Structure 1
Amino acid sequence: MASHRKPKQRSLTGTTARTAATLAMAGAASVTAFGETGHADPQLSPGEVKSQVDALYEQAEQATEQYNGAKEAADNARADVSKLQDEMARRTARLNRTRDQIGAIAAAQYRSGGIDPAMQLALDSTPDTYLERAALVDQVSGREAVILRTLGQQQREINTTHEAADAKLAALSDAQTKLAEHKRTIETKLHAAQALLDRLTATQRAAVDDSGTAGAGGTDGAGSTNSAHADRSTARVPIAPGEIHAPSARAARAVAFAYTALGLPYVWGATGPSSYDCSGLTQAAWKAAGVSLPRTTYTQINVGQRVSESQLQPGDLVFFYSGISHVGLYIGNGQMIHAPHPGAPIRIAPISQMPFSGASRPS
């Protein structure tokens, strides 16, 4: 009779045990890591949630600026491809007209007794074959030679344009791939932050909101909650450039524009007019002043004159975090107007709210 005893299970020892333990710990980490799944420890205090949410928003903003850079590269590559395609069409049209001329000459030669071999080559060969065998042109003289040499030059120009278009298409494809990667990163970080906030009670969420991490509230210069100030920080205040004590008329116009944007929502990747991300807001403000800024924080910091924190004046661009992932527009008295993150509208906030990394003064 066959045995039906349950097979003896082997115990995990040595390397096998260590591997199993490692996998178990990795699995546990993947479940609890807020950056990947968004699940918060139910015992986290509102302050701890704020710290983790702030970190996620910073990571999302870094990815947003990388997304903005990739989008700008994609837009530029797409425009270049379009121009090269138009140029290819024009060059091809000129090539076809030249071949028509050659056809007319060949027809005349045929009627008079025969077609010159170089003319026959130009009519019968592919463009690449013609270029390879175009030495026959040297055997032709007069008007025919001029036309045949023109054909060869036009074909070389088309080949060069085609190669340039292929390179730009490859650059466009690379930028589009990076766009998709950065978009996934942004959405993952923001989802994780929202999941953390959703684990809080209404009272805890209000405490986090009041600290300036989420919602429309604000803080005073000392970091304490002040509801009246919070209201003013997001209200659109009409202000004329002449009322702003800025180092230049352009800086005053940039600050005036930023005041009109107060209360508008933060949307990553947005450049206005109904929503902005941080660098989109500063770009739009200085555009209103007649100055063109690049799209990303890490390129905006290189515009104009670099200034220290002690030298700040209204209109200056103020940058934060070691990765230069956030920017605001300085308005004086230690305050800036900035687009914080999703869920928090454009507001006035102290520059001490985040780790300062540098400033520049466009002109």
Structure 2
Amino acid sequence: MNVAVNSYDHALLTLLVSNQFVEIKGSVFKKFEKDSLFQITCADIVERFTLALMLIVVAFRNLIELSGSEFDFSEGFVLPKSFGWFRGNNILWTISYPVLTVMLSEMLVDWLKHAFITKFNHIRPSAYERYTDVLCRDLASGSAVGRRGARKHSYVDQSPLVARRLGFASLPLAVVAILIGSQSLNLMFAVNSDFSSLWTVPSLTHAEIMHYATWAAMGLLFWICFLVIKVILGVNLVSYASRRRAGMDAREIADVVNDFGRDPIGEGKEEQVYNKKLKSLLDNEEDDAPRTAEIGENKPGHPGKRGRVKLEDLTRYTMVKRIW
């Protein structure tokens, strides 16, 4: 992403078109059920957060690089191509609109993808309310995946349970953010100093000591502000999840229309009869190989049926469909 944004050709536009085309092609006109759509939704949530973090890092690095330079579009354009899609004399706008372009394109493609999936798989929009209820139950009640019960350890942050259900790995992103942040600070201090490394201890004057002390105080204040924002967001999320618990049972009962065997949306009786006959022809047991007892399979001669995984027990990487 950093190379594409700062390239002197149309690499960013090529990257956007290729990635979004692959994402749409891999999802539309395919068979999905409610549980599979939940896993797709979890993947989209993690993808959008990761993409936003990476774009913020790229914009921050570009801001440091261009903060001490002057550029004039009237004398010729020397910045990367992605910076010149909508020209302006404001450096913040010049750096930020490639980021906004990528985020808006990602949101538009996700909207089209989910619209196609829900339309052609006859899934009602109320399913997304149930997805929100599942995440809110993890955050508010502290019930781990596969264990539903009363509130436990309410004073402990339950967001790791939500991250586990979403399949979100926070530690790698934290390491990347810390590494790039330290490099950016090193670059910021190296621009205004004679030494190349932040971790060396040169001889400093009183003015330089006050300058770096001011930056350290600003960094501490920023850290405190971010901590306060995190606490406020956590309190608001928990309160929102607690408020949604009032109607969770009613929405769970109403969501039965989205289960297997539901009445399709927009299909006539003749089409339903035809689909049932077609399914009986495709699901002929004589065409299946006999089952074996390997790796936890059913015993030979006892086909049995595998029970459906409840939505409350479903995670992003749970295998909900048998592939053998």
* TM-score, structure 2 as length reference: 0.24
Structure possessing the higher relative contact order (Cα contacts under 8 Å, 6 or more residues apart): 2
Which has a greater percent of helix?
A: 2
Which has a greater percent of strand?
A: 1
Greater C-alpha Rg = 1
* TM-score, structure 1 as length reference: 0.22
